[in-house]
Structure 1
């Protein structure tokens, strides 16, 4: 491997680590503000005073109670998981991510080819949990709208290529271009067979918005506080306290976990057209 390529990978990992640290700090500040607002409200009520406590865009982040529509093939508790790869693969790679998250983008750019190879070889099933962390931290609705659009793509059997297209075209974190549904629909043109009436209606109507809110609520309750969070067979392999993860080390861990086990039966996955 060339020194230039090694430097690029080190830079990507540093970017991921720095972004995750920023997200954790934002989440901590947000929790502190939420607790503080609650205390103020309680004290005000006790004193017989009416106080309006501001909350951030609750209409877009509050989880719906009870069952909500879920995309075809979704699995797990409350059908909040989008699986990719062989259902009977011997190992499971769990990924919590946000389509607005720069650290997730850096992770995807470095690891996507390896993850695809492992999926296509029947070695892993990837289970995606989509969250709206950046919407909650910075405001906007790009995480929600992009997540809904990805769920709409899952309904059409094209989650993986559309997922990859979204990351290949991720805007700057502060710009929130994924809040524009026309942008999400235009990007769907890069995935053959995706841009049809059903997909367009699903994106425009926010069919899976409540599903996204419920998924984000489950993430909030998971004990994890940054994206991307990566687990292999339930063990956190990426982030604080973990050894530095590389595509090569991920492959080695999967191979070690799969030793002596039969590989999964793979169904061909549609691919996207050229990236930007």
Structure 2
């Protein structure tokens, strides 16, 4: 082997070693980045779990609940007019379902304690199918319930059985079944649900409410007219603190 050939061979070997070194370096970096991502995901899950785990339990009886003619529902003890918590929600909205699961009991407790007047505003924000139809059928059925206690039980049942946004759900048969399970006793409930008697009124109410309140989406919760941040909504203790502070 000539000197020149030997030098070329050594150069190739050195290049191969350098390539292997860089490859190993990239592997180590990838492993480190992956580990960091896993830690961050675990931390996010832990925070979410803490928030979920900190949900209040409904302490006792509920405050009186009144179904209004326009489809809104008021939950408040007699004589309590402030602070006012307005909840704008869509029964098909997944984030509304999560809010109800996380902080719904906090609102119930605050109303029962006489610390807030809670007003539910069911609306439909969806315009595409199948979500629009799902939302309209659910909202129509809720409007078929005139008793306040039964309405709230049905309200919770709807969220518990919320369908995916990709499938047709909240069928009339399902809504009637869940109404019975929630204790709805309205004599004409079945026909009201099947005939969708309240759809037109609900559509008009939704459009007017979204325009008047400048709603960008649901859930939107306003405390004495001021919109609360999502970080507050999904932290029951923060939500309670904000409402109690407003009441002082």
- Check whether TM > 0.5: yes
Please say if 1:185 is aligned against 2:226: no
Distance in 2 of aligned mates of 1:191 and 1:11: 24
Q: 1:203-218 alignment to 2 at 5 Å?
A: 203-218=193-208
Counterpart check, 1:148 vs 2:116: no
Residue 219 of structure 1 is matched in structure 2 by 209
CA distance in 2 between counterparts of 1:244 and 1:217 reads: 24
Asked if 1 retains the 8 angstrom alpha-carbon contact of 2:85 and 2:223, the reply is: yes
* 1:183 to 1:250, Cα distance in 2 relative to 1, 3 A: same
Q: Is the 8 A contact 1:148 1:203 kept in 2?
A: yes
Q: 1:172 aligned to 2:164?
A: yes
**Paired residue for 1:7?**
48
Which sections of structure 2, spanning at least 5 residues, go unmatched? 1-42, 54-65
Distance, in Å, in 1 between the alignment partners of 2:186 and 2:68 is 21
1:118 alignment partner, one of 102, 110, 114? 110
Task: Report runs of 4+ in structure 1 exceeding 6 Å deviation.
Answer: none
Shifted more, 125-134 versus 195-204: the winner is: 195-204
State the partner residue of 1:128.
120
Q: Compared with structure 1, are the counterparts of its residues 11 and 174 closer, same or farther at alpha carbon in structure 2 (3 Å cutoff)?
A: farther
Instruction: Indicate yes or no: 2:65 matched with 1:74.
Output: no
User: Which stretches in structure 1 are left out of the alignment for 5+ residues?
Assistant: 13-71, 260-276
SS in 2 for 1:172: coil
* Distance (Å, rounded) in 2 between the aligned partners of 1:149 and 1:143: 10
* 1:187 CA drift (Å): 0.7
Alpha-carbon shift at residue 156 of structure 1 (Å): 2.9
Checking the alignment, whether the CA contact within 8 Å between 2:91 and 2:138 is kept in structure 1 is yes
Work out which structure has the larger RCO, using CA pairs closer than 8 Å and 6 or more positions apart in sequence: 1
Answer whether contact 2:111 2:118 (CA < 8 A) is retained: yes
Structure of higher CA gyration radius: 2
The 8 Å contact of residues 100 and 176 in structure 1, kept in 2 or not, is answered as no
Aligned residue pairs, count: 189
Supply the distance in 2 between the matched residues of 1:252 and 1:11 (Cα, whole angstroms).
17
Q: Is contact 1:101–1:227 with CA below 8 Å preserved after alignment?
A: yes
Contact 1:231 1:238 in 2 (8 A): no
1:224-262: CA deviations, max 9, x gaps? 1111011011110034xx767511011111111112xxx
Cα deviation for residue 5 of structure 1 reads 6.6
Distance 1:191 1:80, change over 3 A: closer
CA RMSD of aligned residues (A): 2.5
- Shift of the alpha carbon at 1:176? 2.9
What is the Cα deviation at residue 163 of structure 1? 0.4
Q: Confirm or deny that 1:101 pairs with 2:93.
A: yes
Deviation at 1:98, TM superposition (A): 0.6
- For residues 122-156 of structure 1, the C-alpha deviation after alignment (integer angstroms, 9 at most, x for no partner) is 2112112121113x144441101100111112x13
